[in-house]
Structure 1
Amino acid sequence: MVRLQQRRTRLLAIAIFLACFLSYACYGRDSRDVVTWQVSSTTTTRAPVDQVLQSTEILLSEKIPKARHSKAVQDVLPSSKPTEILLQEKAPHVQNSKETETPLPRSKPSETLLPEKVPQVQLFRPTEIILPESLAKAPIATLSSKVTMPVHPTVYDLSTMPTMPPSSATNGSLTTAPSMRIPPMSLTPSNFTVPTCIGYEQLQMSHREPLSAGKRQFPYSRPLPECRTFNLSSMETLIERMNDTVKDPDLFRLFENSYPNTLDTMIKWRGYAVETDPVTMNETVTDQELTYVITGDIDAMWLRDSASQVNSYLPLLVASSESESLASLWRGLINIQARYIVISPYCHSFQPPAESGIPPTKNGAYHNNHPNPAYNPNLVFDCKWELDSLASFLQISTAYYQRTNDLAFFDRYSWVSAVEAAVDAAGAMRVGTYSKEGKVEKSAWTFTGWTNRGSETLTNDGLGNPTKENGMVRTAFRPSDDACIYQFLVPANMMWAKYLEEASFIMEKLDDAKAENLTTVMRDFAYGIRRGIDRDAIVHHRDFGDIFAYEVDGYGGQNLMDDGEKAHDMMQEEVNGQLQMVLDSTTGKGVVHESVNAWNEYDWSRAWFGWANGLLGELILKLAERDEAAGESGDRWFAQSFQ
């Protein structure tokens, strides 16, 4: 009996231990637990052992992945490359354990040394950090005032972790060696609360309160500030102001959810570029900012989409050298797009940069599509030649310059090389299908796809329908990713010509022989496109007179349709009707879908799609400006009800 009681006691003790361990290790704790630390560079007071991990020393060496230089991202740790983190116990009363392999959530196996009695969770308390010497020279004042580490297995917000951003000097760089020690920092816990950092699609399904006061009862679907991928104080100020402007509660909630959606959920990674010496293979962390922006529910970055998503925030863009500013995010996007264009100028969507440590996303269509030249699927997500993708790169470039007057940025990294690659790629696609002798010309890019849809491949062995050279640029696919019928896509050529001219004003100010030559080439290119449009793309319609065709081929073939990516200015009655339609087509989610069946509001695609949400925000802000100009006595859009 005694043995049985002892055995039961042991079993009960083991059961209690396992229950406690599993409730901690398997995230069974209160879902709102997060550790927030107050950072001080002068004291070394330690927190109680029962609240946090023991004081540790983290060694950051060449073996730490490139993602260690990240600024503010979601899912960096869960999807990092294999890392070796040496955690050496400093407290005398806790002994080091043997070397154990402890994979971080959704990451490849990592080699980690942890104290034997400490639960293996994602909370580390650094008290002494070894960093590269030049990185350590960054002023302590650049450290965040708080460190917030959510303990959720799928979403991590590192935006307020203490970082040592690189010098803002024009040619500054940070090397991985030699290393030096930084004085210990005290991390004193100030509270114990955890954000509900769930995935955004799950958040949408939760129908979170408070609901809007209108008949549609839209949920509040913004993540908590701790869980957002980028926090911008000017955005919050703007939303508060619009709450007083937009009287309809459902329309305001739609704006509140939609406009910040890209900042809230789609800034997948931010960090700094890493250069590798081709001889020694030593890595150098530069001060070149990088920003990787996903489209939403597809974990890849489109040139056009990411540019349009961020360009929606143009009213909030101001010059700033701060690492957590919108200007920094914008520079990072220009830099990463420049890198991609140099790599594959004919491709339109790309994988995360190597510095992020995020693994590439698998594209199920990769083996069915056959572009020529081929692409590396570890760098490129999908490859369809769409002229407006290159135009979008120039668009965000000129927008940044016009708002900030930051000319030095464009001469600092690879912007000039990217423009050159874009101009060369587009220029090669001005060649018509046939030579003067009637022979088929070799095309710089072709595409064939194994598909049962005609819109997913090109005719004539990947060339597309014939075109006659006229100064315009052939583009294989529309912005919708559908194949062009006639490859002189008029809106894309207009956009390319416009931003070629605008970007040439930046180029001409750069003190460089290549830039000087490019300035002339860009302006001549734009002139040739405009001349081709005037000659071949203006057609006479029996009801509307002279209009622009959507697509032409230079032979007289015309496609009169529209596949607009941006709405034109409309009369107030039409605007009201369209807003009403958008409000009634969200199926209660309170955000804008990518597309909706005009005959069935419940038949839609992509509830998590940043570009469409950004366009809604742009529209609301534009109408608010008109209301302000109209004054109290004029017709005001937002004084009315949309119930």
Structure 2
Amino acid sequence: MTDSDFPVPPAPAGPPPDDGWTRKVLTDDVVEAWTERVRTALPGTEVPRVFRACLARTIRRSLMRLDSGEVAVITGDIPAMWLRDSSTQMWPYLTLVASDPRGPLADVLVGVALRQLALIVHDPYANAFNLRPDGRAHNPDDEWGEHPADQLIWERKYEVDSLCFPLQLATRLFEVTGRREVLGPALQAAQVVVRTLRTEQDHERFSPYRFVRPGGNALDTLPRGGRGGPVAVTGMTWSGFRPSDDACTYGYNVPANLHAAAVLDDIGALVTAASEESGPALAAEARVLADELRAGVERYGVVVHPVHGEIYAYEVDGLGAHLLMDDANLPSLLSLPLITNVRQDDARYMRTRRFVLSPENPTFTQGTALGGVGSPHTWPGWVWPIAVATEGLTTQNRSRRVEALRTLAATTAGTDHMHESVNAGDPTRFTRPWFSWADSMFCLLALATAAPDRYVPPAAPRAEPA
């Protein structure tokens, strides 16, 4: 593969203008206090310096206040708001706001959640949105079947996780801060999410979704007139695209289904608190749907590997085909204990983990500078820092977490920031100079390692790392 095999995104518009408000949201004193905590836990390393840079940049450069009072979040060097990325970008700040639930940083997280929930209601099939309805698009030639053009949508690749990560963030935010502003919008969004996931359990018969990118490669468009490859009805919910924004080879993404099931289980208290009338019924419906998704995974998404035994497949079609791999982007198989209720010591997860972190996984690379999981979204031999952080966050071994932090801090090419992917043998070669999601994953790993008593993980139950 060469650079030309991957589309170059439009030139970034730069960060939103900084009028000074973000420095009041995340003050230097707060940044320094948390950096000192990391420095105390990890003395004599580059980790505290990189943590400080990553913790500050997401808040100070990627946020935009909207007239509605909501807060938009750009993904970094692409001037659009991904529902998945904007959720994961906020993860480390849940730990910070737990001690100041009415402070300006908590206000920002509420504003982000409100924006995400409104966007889900606006169009549950879109993965990324403009900050304003200005008609900008990743590719203006994309065809959406009968769905009309929409000035607010940057890209309309349907990914199950785009619906689930915002609800998961809203749930944790409500638990940590008690901020009731998110409840009504969360109830509305949850209704849309449950309806959409149900529709996509029988994609062939009921789905209105189509996506064609004329002239796009196989990872950027869906076959059969935009419907995707054939699938059977399995109980799982269909996804057109992976969390990498690459097209699914087979329509049922297993980690995305397990993540969706965990989120559906988790939102009960949120929607019930929002409405004593409709909330309990919606919570019950969500739990039933969650059970169906998990049953589908058990029946169709588990395979026997000749070396590793019974493990999760990455994708299946319900017709007998399966894909054995993992992708750095979340939801991933590696990330299951981080974002679902799958335990770190679950036997099937441990077998799957050994597969993911082995040469049998076609996206795994071990180089002279670093090793880990990559993605078909980039080249073979390139490791994604997101995956290295995920490996650290899902291990039971603290020394492995520290090793992951040291590796990440040493492979920034002198920028003190994470990147999308890094050449495993030459970390001066990387993709995307500003990838805020990766910065936040590094911060999350640092907090989990240095402050396990304060760390708020993305998924329930909120147990301390082992």
Given the two structures, how large is their TM-score scaled by the length of structure 2? 0.75
Aligned residue for 2:250, secondary structure, equals coil
**Does the 8 Å contact 1:488/1:553 carry over to 2?**
yes
Displacement of 1:292: 0.8
**Does the 8 Å contact 1:550/1:562 carry over to 2?**
yes
**Does the 8 Å contact 1:261/1:614 carry over to 2?**
no
1:378–1:593 distance in 2 versus 1, CA, 3 Å: same
Inter-partner Cα distance in structure 2 for 1:586 and 1:376: 39
| Partner of residue 181 from structure 2, selected from 409, 418, 439 | 409
| Partner of residue 293 from structure 2, selected from 507, 523, 529 | 529
Task: Specify which structure has the higher proportion of helix.
Answer: 2
Q: Which has the higher contact order (CA 8 A, sep 6+)?
A: 2
What amino acid is the match of 1:481? D
What amino acid is the match of 2:194? V
1:394–1:627 distance in 2 versus 1, CA, 3 Å: closer
Aligned residue for 1:508, secondary structure, equals helix
**Does the 8 Å contact 1:342/1:418 carry over to 2?**
yes
The answer to whether residue 77 in structure 2 is matched with residue 306 in structure 1 is: no
What amino acid is the match of 2:108? L
Inter-partner Cα distance in structure 1 for 2:447 and 2:236: 34
* Deviation digits for residues 419-459 of structure 1 (CA, Å, limit 9, x no counterpart): 111211221111053xxxxxxx3532111112342100111
What amino acid is the match of 1:241? R
Aligned residue for 2:202, secondary structure, equals coil
What amino acid is the match of 1:246? L
Within a 5 Å distance, the mapping from 1:50-129 to structure 2 comes to none
1:337 matched residue in structure 2: 116
Displacement of 1:515: 2.3
The answer to whether residue 26 in structure 2 is matched with residue 157 in structure 1 is: no
What amino acid is the match of 2:61? T
| Partner of residue 250 from structure 1, selected from 46, 58, 63 | 46
1:399–1:235 distance in 2 versus 1, CA, 3 Å: farther
Displacement of 1:573: 6.2
**Does the 8 Å contact 1:539/1:549 carry over to 2?**
yes
1:394 matched residue in structure 2: 167
Aligned residue for 1:608, secondary structure, equals coil
What amino acid is the match of 2:51? F
Inter-partner Cα distance in structure 2 for 1:361 and 1:511: 36
1:597–1:555 distance in 2 versus 1, CA, 3 Å: same
2:387 matched residue in structure 1: none
Displacement of 1:155: 4.3
**Does the 8 Å contact 1:551/1:558 carry over to 2?**
yes
1:616–1:491 distance in 2 versus 1, CA, 3 Å: same
What amino acid is the match of 2:140? Y
1:163 matched residue in structure 2: none
2:429 matched residue in structure 1: 603
The answer to whether residue 208 in structure 2 is matched with residue 382 in structure 1 is: no
Displacement of 1:366: 1.8
**Does the 8 Å contact 2:25/2:105 carry over to 1?**
no
What amino acid is the match of 1:256? R
Inter-partner Cα distance in structure 2 for 1:364 and 1:272: 24
Inter-partner Cα distance in structure 1 for 2:25 and 2:434: 15
Inter-partner Cα distance in structure 2 for 1:232 and 1:449: 45
**Does the 8 Å contact 1:318/1:326 carry over to 2?**
no
Displacement of 1:512: 4.2
1:460 matched residue in structure 2: 224
Superposition CA RMSD, Å: 2.8
| Partner of residue 191 from structure 2, selected from 382, 395, 420 | 420
2:65 matched residue in structure 1: 270
Inter-partner Cα distance in structure 1 for 2:36 and 2:129: 35
What amino acid is the match of 1:387? V
Displacement of 1:496: 0.7
**Does the 8 Å contact 1:302/1:350 carry over to 2?**
yes
Give unmatched runs, 5+ long, in structure 2: 1-12, 336-389, 455-466
1:255–1:321 distance in 2 versus 1, CA, 3 Å: closer
Displacement of 1:518: 1.4
1:478 matched residue in structure 2: 242
* Deviation digits for residues 119-140 of structure 1 (CA, Å, limit 9, x no counterpart): xxxxxxxxxxxxxxxxxxxxxx
Provide the aligned length of Structure 1 versus Structure 2. Answer: 381
Aligned residue for 1:603, secondary structure, equals strand
Displacement of 1:234: 3.3
1:538 matched residue in structure 2: 302
**Does the 8 Å contact 2:161/2:260 carry over to 1?**
yes
**Does the 8 Å contact 1:447/1:462 carry over to 2?**
yes
Inter-partner Cα distance in structure 1 for 2:283 and 2:178: 18
Inter-partner Cα distance in structure 2 for 1:154 and 1:431: 41
Q: Which has the larger radius of gyration?
A: 1
1:390–1:232 distance in 2 versus 1, CA, 3 Å: farther
Displacement of 1:507: 1.5
* Deviation digits for residues 212-235 of structure 1 (CA, Å, limit 9, x no counterpart): xxxxxxxxxxxxx5xx87547533
2:72 matched residue in structure 1: 292
**Does the 8 Å contact 1:320/1:328 carry over to 2?**
no
Task: Specify which structure has the higher proportion of strand.
Answer: 1
Displacement of 1:487: 1.0
1:580–1:242 distance in 2 versus 1, CA, 3 Å: closer
Displacement of 1:521: 1.5
* Deviation digits for residues 594-614 of structure 1 (CA, Å, limit 9, x no counterpart): 111224323211121111011
1:349–1:231 distance in 2 versus 1, CA, 3 Å: farther
Aligned residue for 1:507, secondary structure, equals helix
Inter-partner Cα distance in structure 1 for 2:100 and 2:448: 25
Over the matched positions of the two proteins, sequence identity in percent amounts to 29
**Does the 8 Å contact 1:260/1:614 carry over to 2?**
no
